[in-house]
Structures are given as C-alpha cells and as structure tokens.
Amino acid sequence: MAIGKIPLIWLLGLALAFGVAAAAPAQASSSSSSSRVSRHYDFFIREANYTRLCREKTILTVNGEFPGPTIFARNGDVVFVNVYNQGDKNITIHWHGVDQPRNPWSDGPAYITQCPIQPGSKFTYRIILSEEEGTLWWHAHSDFDRATVHGAIVIHPKRGTAYPFRKPDKEIPIILGEWWHRDVGQLLGEALSTGSDFEPSDANTINGQPGDLFPCSSDSAFRLPVEHGKTYMLRIINAALTTEFFFAIAGHRLTVVGTDAAYIKPFTVDHLFIAPGQTKTVLLKADRGVGHRSNDTYRYYMAARPYATNPIARFDNSTATAVLEYVDAPPAIATPPVMPFLPAINDSAAAEAYSVRLRSLASDEHPVDVPRHVDHRMLITIAVNEIPCAPGDLCKGPRNNRVAASLNNVSFEMPSTAILGAYYRSVLGGVAKPDFPDKPRVEFNYTSDDLPLRFTARDTRVKVLEYGAVVEVVFQDTAILGTESHPMHLHGYSFYVVGRGLGNFDKHKDPATYNLVDPPYQNTVSVPKAGWAAIRFRAANPGVWFMHCHFERHMVWGMETVFIVKNGKAREAKMMPPPPNMPRLLGRADGVWGEGRGRAMVLAHPLRTHRRAGPCASGASRELGRQGDFPSVHGCKAPMLSPGEAKGLGEGAVAPCNKMLDLVDWSAGDHQQVGSALPQSSRRSTPPSGTARRLTASSQ
C-alpha cells in the first residue's frame, strides 16, 4: 500500500507551499497589461492562536489575521488570489456577491463548483469583477470554516468615475461575526452526528472583538477614531454564521448608500438591519464631539444586537460593541460611552421596516434593467424539518429525530464530488438529479400549518435553467417547526428583489404590488419571518450556481439547491473551460494515469476531511496521533478506493473528492508511487513515459 509514503509526500507539499510563502510576502500587487487591471493576493490558510473572552484558542485564519485581509479593487478588475492551504483540513474560498461571469470554476463552494483545496495544496482563484461596485466580502465555503476565515472586498468606482455622493474622508470595513469558546469544526461534527441544533456562540463580535461589555475584552474592543466634521464610509458586512443584526451608533444617524454591490437611493436611519451574507455601505457624519452640542460627549458605542425570530431555536442574545471616539475632543473626564437605541431582539416589524426602504439608484449612471416578462416561475417553500432517527442511532433533534431543513421539501444532500466537474464532463447523472421541483409538492397554509410536511428526505436535486431565461423565484417561509426569517443567497448572480410581504404569497394579488421601477439589486435577500420575497434575474451567466440560506446551520441541514444554467449559442454565452490548476474536476483527477500495457494502475490513498470534528462521516474512520511529520493529529480518514474499484473507473466514472487517486507503478513490484499529493500543477507536469497512458481526455 502507498500509505506509508504519504507523510513524506505531504511534507514535500508543505515544504513547497512554505517555500512559496517565503518568496512571496502576503501583499497585493497589481498590473494592467490589458484593458482590465489585474490584482494579485496571496492567502495562506493557517492556524493561529487568538485570545477572546479570557481564553486562548486556535482558529483557522488567512495570513494569521482575524478577520482576514481586505481585498481592494476597482469596478471591472480581475483579482487573482493564490490560496495556499497550510492548514490541516480541506478548505475552499468563495467571493461572495461576485457574479463571476462564465467562470463558475472560481466561485468556491465545496462539492458544488470544486473539490476542496487539500492540505499542502494551492489553488489560484480568478475573481472576475463585472458590474459589482461597493462592498462585498470573501469567506471560506467549506464546513464551518467561515466563522474565522472571512474578510472584506472593497470595490471602488472605475478610474475616472466617482461615487454617486460626495467622496467620504475615510472608509472602514465593519465586519460583524461571532466567537465560540469551542472549535467550530467540533461543534459541527457533534451536531451532525446527533442531528441536534448547534450550540449558540459565546459572543457576537465587531471586527473580531466582542467589545467591553464582555470579560477581558475592554482593552481590545474595536475603536474607530473620528474627527469632527469629517464623513466616514462604513462598509458593514454580516459574516456571522447564525445571526441577523440590528446595528446603530449612539448619537449619530447613518445614511445607507449601498447594499451588497449596488448603490441605492440614500436614506437615513437610526439603526439598520443586516442579515448574514448582506453588506451595507453607509455614511457616517462625525457631527458630535465635546463642545459642539450641549449634551455631546466624545465616546459613542456602535452596537450590534441580534435579531432572532424563531422562539424555539437557541441563540446568543449578547450585544457586541465597539467605540466611536472623537480624537479632536479636548481631554475630558473619561465617561462611559453612550449606548444607542436598538430594536428588541424579536422586533420583526423593525427589520421589515428597514428592508422595504431599499431602492435601487436607477440613475443614468447606475441604471436598472428589471425584467418585465418572466419565462420561468418558481415558488420555493423554506422549512426546518425532521428526518426520522435511524434505528440504533442516538438522535437529539426534535422529538428525538434529526433536525433537517429543506427547499420545496427537498433536503439537499451534498454530493461527494463537485457538481460542476460532473456537469462539465457530462456525467451529472452520477451526482445529481436535474428535477428540483418548481413548486411545493402540496399546497398548504404555509405560514400557519406545520403538519403536512414536517418530515423531509435528503436528495441531491438541482434545477436546470435555459440560457437567457428570465426567472422569478418566490421564497415562501413556512411554519414547519416555527416561522423564521431566512437570508437566501444566490451565487453567480445579483437579482432584483421585486416584492416582499407577510403571510402566504398570493400569485393573483401580490404581483400587483411589485416594484419593477427601482427594486434593490442584491445577492442575499432576507425573506421575512412568516412571509415571502420575490426575486427576478435573467439566467445569462452559464454555470453551476449554489443557492442557499446563509444561516450556516440551515445550510448544513439541507436548505439549498443548485441552479445549473445551460450554455447559450454564442461563444460569449458559454462557460469558460476549467483553469489548469483546478483541484480535480472529479474524484478521478485529470492527470491521473491509467493502465499502460497492464503495468500501471490507479490506486487511492486517504485524505483527512475534518479536523477534530467529532465523529467522522459515514464510511470514514477516526485517525489519531501524528502521522509522520504532518502536523494533523486528529482527523477523519476517508475510505480508500480499492485497487479494484479504481481499476473499474472507466470513462465518465465519478469518484468522490476525498478519495485520493494516485498512480502506482505496479511494474516496480513494490507499488511505488509515481503520482502524489503534491499540488496539482506539479502533479500533472510529467507523465511517466512508457509505463502509462492518460486515461482521460482533458480539455484544458
């Protein structure tokens, strides 16, 4: 077996990655040889120790930073990010809100558009910016990694163009998140093994800090120094796994000028509402400070308080704070900062009152193109459900079943290999069924009945759309296991939110209330609790695009599906070919070499999938202790593909991402490995001449 050789190979992979790390400092560079400006970033995925709430903990980071580094670009640029996985678990990165025209290969969701980047490997993402302008963000799209692996993407106007408002004096990302005492991978593993809900976080955070209402946190609380008279642009991102927030700054009003990556008609609020996945670009005028008004002080809290709508779900109800500090204020007796007013934690009316105010700018410079005619209509019910506990299992979900979630009562089963690769290789049928329903199987009183569809079942069902079709999706919340708001996010597109309302969507009456003039253009819509939201988009971006609730716990329970948008006829209407460094299109990687004169064949070796993640997925086994010099100590060992299985992989076969395939030269007599777990680029460079021939026809 080849297992004995793995540590050396992995060590070599690590050495390569670290070698590159030393040669290329983690900084941005840009070049503009073509009409598009190219920007380059290096992301090193690695563990780092952080102390929060009086305890130290090891977290996964990019470049050791939490939150991660900000990517800066201009409208229309192309950003290349080299992701070196120096951690000890699989990972992928998603560029949230970037349409990636014709380029799903760099979108990032694990098992949807790519197999994960393995420890010791590298993948270069090509992030093609098109219409986006404003605030976006990037985050890990594998397991619960995005809890700490996330950061801002700031997209400035093209050179020679300007903001549709006066340029602010300074711009600051404000990233809302959560902190758990425990390892998030472990929480995920435990919850999935028992079918229970997740443990709530121990604190909510602003730019990685809980703020001075928490123990051991006052010195490190995020501080925003401001000068009286200046205007600050806050790029607010909700990166939390589980929490929607109300956000406010005491003594100041906020002018909202953008949501996701589009400008809106400015409006001014005392507090705003933001769901996970969404961004808000706001202007803050520093018009206070000691002496400017009779009741002025020089320190004000900015605060984020959860909005939680499901009374039976457990949640972290703590308020995160940061401090806005006037630096030009005369020295004064330190007084505690003033706390802003924030709506109550279950104030659905306040959340909805905010969401209905969003309207696109719809100006000459920033026009809208709202589709009037609809080719394809879908009504998608959103539900948290149960899956019956299997005999002999210990289930800790509702009624001793497993908790699950669904769209149109389909609880999405994550495939074991990337759907995009399977689709591109025309073997989709081995991975997913193209029959995701356009409407719920039965009609019921969605927002008050919970009985008809309390149970759901797991399946990998996707929706195939014709190129160019105008699609309307109405998301309908349901009362199954309790009504709740849901941030629904679509990859590959921004969409117009043409309507929203409470209760059951009425297809005869509600379309009359649609805003087809200046609806907001978003990538994540907050579907109101016990209500509905309608979105429209033109399916003109061919590819495989994930669509899911941005509450991470709902996503892992199955509240998602995939839109596959077919190629159009013109060249510009077709998906690009995969990049050369793609982490294996299918489990059977391109570059795997097959039988040659009966002497060489494919063999598999295991890959760790979860780090300290509790019980392993079915079929995988526990692996403890150091293995060679590789730093992983606790992981799940994926099952190996037996030589027989591997040999049986013919054209069109589909093998899981985590079944590593390597070439073994049987002619050497001792199963000598000639392929390896090295980064893909080095792996595919030189075929062993004479002993093997290429099995797959690669189109790269």
For Cu ion, the closer CB: 52 or 486? 486
For Cu ion, the closer CB: 309 or 417? 309
- Give, for 554, the enclosing helix (H) or strand (E): helix 552-557
Smallest gap from residue 162 Cβ to Cu ion (A): 38
Interacting positions 170-189 with Cu ion (CB under 5 A) = none
Q: Roughly how many angstroms between the first and final C-alpha of the chain, as a whole number?
A: 31
| 398-620-629 Cα angle (round to 5) | 125
Task: Tell me if 551 contacts Cu ion by CB under 5 A.
Answer: yes
Task: Tell me if 288 contacts Cu ion by CB under 5 A.
Answer: no
Task: Tell me if 549 contacts Cu ion by CB under 5 A.
Answer: yes
For Cu ion, the closer CB: 254 or 549? 549
What is the residue type of 362? A
Task: Tell me if 554 contacts Cu ion by CB under 5 A.
Answer: yes
Phi, psi (deg, nearest 5) at residue 589: -65, 150
Interacting positions 483-542 with Cu ion (CB under 5 A) = 486
Smallest gap from residue 486 Cβ to Cu ion (A): 3
The count of residues interacting with Cu ion (CB under 5 A) is 4
How much is the CA Rg of the chain, to the nearest whole Å? 25
DSSP three-state, residue 350: helix
What is d(CA 212, CA 353) in angstroms, rounded to the nearest whole number? 30
Smallest gap from residue 488 Cβ to Cu ion (A): 8
Task: Give the distance from CA 324 to its chain's centroid.
Answer: 29
For Cu ion, the closer CB: 548 or 610? 548
DSSP states of 185-198? HHHHHHHHHHTPPP
3-state helix, strand, coil in the chain (%, to 5): 10, 35, 50
- Give, for 423, the enclosing helix (H) or strand (E): helix 419-424
Residues whose CB is less than 8 angstroms from the CB of residue 338 and which lie 6 or more positions away in sequence, other chains included: 250, 251, 297, 299, 300, 301
What is d(CA 583, CA 601) in angstroms, rounded to the nearest whole number? 21
Q: Which stretch, 158-166, 257-265, 481-489, 602-610, contacts Cu ion (CB under 5 A)? A: 481-489
Smallest gap from residue 528 Cβ to Cu ion (A): 12
Task: Tell me if 608 contacts Cu ion by CB under 5 A.
Answer: no
Q: Which stretch, 234-242, 410-418, 480-488, 521-529, contacts Cu ion (CB under 5 A)? A: 480-488
DSSP three-state, residue 41: strand
Q: Which residue is nearest to Cu ion (CB)?
A: 549
Task: Give the distance from CA 385 to its chain's centroid.
Answer: 23
Smallest gap from residue 306 Cβ to Cu ion (A): 15
Interacting positions 85-124 with Cu ion (CB under 5 A) = none
Smallest gap from residue 550 Cβ to Cu ion (A): 7
What is d(CA 464, CA 561) in angstroms, rounded to the nearest whole number? 11
Smallest gap from residue 426 Cβ to Cu ion (A): 33
Contact 103, 128 (CB under 8 A): yes
Exposure b/e, 518-531, CB count within 10 A at least 16 = b: bbbbbbbbbbbbbb
Smallest gap from residue 278 Cβ to Cu ion (A): 13
Smallest gap from residue 50 Cβ to Cu ion (A): 28
Smallest gap from residue 689 Cβ to Cu ion (A): 53
For Cu ion, the closer CB: 486 or 608? 486
Q: Which stretch, 256-264, 307-315, 512-520, 545-553, contacts Cu ion (CB under 5 A)? A: 545-553
DSSP state of 475: E
Q: Which stretch, 150-158, 246-254, 478-486, 588-596, contacts Cu ion (CB under 5 A)? A: 478-486
For Cu ion, the closer CB: 478 or 632? 478
What is d(CA 649, CA 422) in angstroms, rounded to the nearest whole number? 14
What is d(CA 441, CA 408) in angstroms, rounded to the nearest whole number? 7
DSSP three-state, residue 147: helix
Smallest gap from residue 554 Cβ to Cu ion (A): 3
For Cu ion, the closer CB: 139 or 554? 554
β-pairing verdict for 299-307 and 244-249: antiparallel
Closest CA to 609 of 658, 654, 656: 658
Q: Which stretch, 204-212, 482-490, 568-576, 652-660, contacts Cu ion (CB under 5 A)? A: 482-490
What is d(CA 106, CA 492) in angstroms, rounded to the nearest whole number? 11
For Cu ion, the closer CB: 122 or 486? 486
What is the residue type of 352? E
Smallest gap from residue 479 Cβ to Cu ion (A): 14
Structure tokens at 196: 């229970």
For Cu ion, the closer CB: 305 or 554? 554
Smallest gap from residue 384 Cβ to Cu ion (A): 8
Structure tokens at 223: 């501080």
Task: Tell me if 637 contacts Cu ion by CB under 5 A.
Answer: no
For Cu ion, the closer CB: 144 or 551? 551
What is d(CA 641, CA 659) in angstroms, rounded to the nearest whole number? 6
Task: Tell me if 315 contacts Cu ion by CB under 5 A.
Answer: no
In the shown chain, the binding pattern of residues 333 to 372 toward Cu ion, with x for contact by CB under 5 A and - for none, equals: ----------------------------------------
Q: Which stretch, 206-214, 548-556, 565-573, 644-652, contacts Cu ion (CB under 5 A)? A: 548-556
What torsion do the CA atoms of 568, 570, 574, 579 make, to the nearest 10 degrees?
170
Smallest gap from residue 196 Cβ to Cu ion (A): 17
Q: What is the 3-state secondary structure (H, E, C) of 211-279?
A: CCCCCCCCCCCCEEEECCCCEEEEEEEECCCCCEEEEEECCCCEEEEEECCEEEEEEEECEEEECCCCE
Q: Which stretch, 112-120, 228-236, 322-330, 549-557, contacts Cu ion (CB under 5 A)? A: 549-557
Smallest gap from residue 382 Cβ to Cu ion (A): 6
* Contact footprint for Cu ion (CB under 5 A): 486, 549, 551, 554
